[in-house]
Amino acid sequence: MSRRSNPFLHTVRCALVAATLLAFDDTDSPDGMCTTYLAVLMLRALSRYDLLGLPRLVRLNPNVPWKTRGNAAICLPLGRGVGVHRQCGAVEGTPIAYFDRGTPADPKAVLKVAEEVLEREAEFGCDNTNPGIVCTRCRPPQTLYWQAVRGIVTLGAVESQLTDCGADWKKYKNGRGVIGAASAASWRPRDRTWEVIAYRDAALVGTPRDIDTESVIAMDQGTSYTFNNYDYETHHIAIAPASPCPVLYGIRGDSPEELLKARTMIRGEAPASWLLFLTNQGTDDHIVRRRIGELSSGQSACVQARVIRPPRTIAGGHVILGITDGSEIDAAFYEPSGSLRAAARRLIPGDHIVVHGSIRDEPRSINVEKMQILHLTDRWMKSANPTCPDCDKRMGSLGAGQGYRCKICGKLAPESSAERVIVPREVARGWYEPTVASRRHLYKPIRRMPRGDVNSLL
């Protein structure tokens, strides 16, 4: 019996949801459109429908070779809302609200409008831009999300699941965007954060952004649940992107209510539109816990290991550390990871650490994006030659590593008999992370990490 004709399998694999999910991906290019801004344009064009829940911004595997910028996909739950509604954005002065519940929209009608918007706005000229739209009443199985955030998913596998769900979809060019779109639709948050994104007036896109630095610092210090706002090490405003896209800034945090307040604290250029997203950013969903021997290229992994070779600094200031958990790998700490790299430089063989990072094949290494020092081994230094037990005098050295001999009676003593003292370590146990500016979208900041044992992480 084929999978498609088995109704029981169908019900366990995907879930009917109380909204029509419109998801799209891969519409941007390195120097133009931003997929999140397309969400604003879609909502404007689909204003006859209501949002049934917040718009979702879903980041997928940061190691896929063909990603455009941040590998972001969007999912909008659409229908006719009933009951309480709350504001979650504004498009050129017109408020956007979302409802907690309602009745789903007609997927075919939604898809038709979405196609028109996407065909008008996507950066089709970029080789790497391969848009896709999915419209479905049935949420694809969440295993799809986990595969897409941690590994590589093929278009064929996705289309087969979309067929199971009875979804409608549209591919452009090589159609790869359908993978991200379907994966975003399949996301059921285990952990989640929010981001409020402000967009620029179309006439200003491409010009330098005017954001008042002092107001960003005041917002960072005046809010409790926001993160990645300002980089105090490099004096960099982390809420503003570097690319010439329509985004003015994005503020991330753990409280949607606080983000709405944080938005009003930023001074400078007035945004033309803004939108609050539910996201998987800052969750470490891309990280899998593995033993070193199981690591494969393109993965983002967490490994617990012991340092076996002292740190060495290579060209560019990068630090390489040999680690083992039975199998060996090099842990690479790249510029500009600041205090993380400085901590790595102070480790010695015997220390126990946990590292998170992406796996590279040539040369085989884990490019560390976060480190926890679990245990620091004692560092000993020789303080004096041993004393002869018979003569009570200091013995003489026979040369490096050769041991000792008493100058009076000739008695021999091994190298290990020297008197030693413990030297204080210049690094402490705990978590170390890169500068705010060099963190990936999915990177979970240490302030979001649970306290206690690493085992509670995964």
Chain contacts with Zn ion (rule: CB under 5 A): 388, 390-391, 406, 408-409, 411
User: For residue 378, what are its two tokens?
Assistant: 């004692």
| Pairwise CA distance, residues 73 & 60, whole Å | 8
Kindly state the smallest distance separating residue 399's Cβ from Zn ion, in Å: 19
Kindly state the smallest distance separating residue 385's Cβ from Zn ion, in Å: 12
Q: Is 187 exposed, middle or buried (0-12, 13-18, 19+ CB in 10 A)?
A: buried
Provide CB contacts within 8 A for 232, sequence distance 6+: none
**Distance (Å) of CA 186 to CA 49, 135, 166, 219:** 21, 12, 14, 34
Q: Which is nearer to Zn ion, 324 or 387 (CB)?
A: 387
DSSP per-residue codes, 250-304: EEEES-HHHHHHHHHH--BSPPSEEEEEEE-TTS-TTEEE--GGG--TT-EEEEE
Kindly state the smallest distance separating residue 394's Cβ from Zn ion, in Å: 10
Q: Which is nearer to Zn ion, 386 or 434 (CB)?
A: 386
- Phi-psi bin for 391: left (phi > 0), alpha (psi -120 to 50), beta? alpha
Q: Which is nearer to Zn ion, 157 or 391 (CB)?
A: 391
Q: Which is nearer to Zn ion, 84 or 408 (CB)?
A: 408
Kindly state the smallest distance separating residue 383's Cβ from Zn ion, in Å: 20
Assess contact for 168 and 136: CB atoms under 8 A: yes
Q: Which is nearer to Zn ion, 308 or 409 (CB)?
A: 409
Q: Which is nearer to Zn ion, 401 or 410 (CB)?
A: 410
Q: Which is nearer to Zn ion, 39 or 418 (CB)?
A: 418
Kindly state the smallest distance separating residue 409's Cβ from Zn ion, in Å: 3
Kindly state the smallest distance separating residue 390's Cβ from Zn ion, in Å: 4
| H or E, element range at 177 | helix 177-186
Kindly state the smallest distance separating residue 410's Cβ from Zn ion, in Å: 7
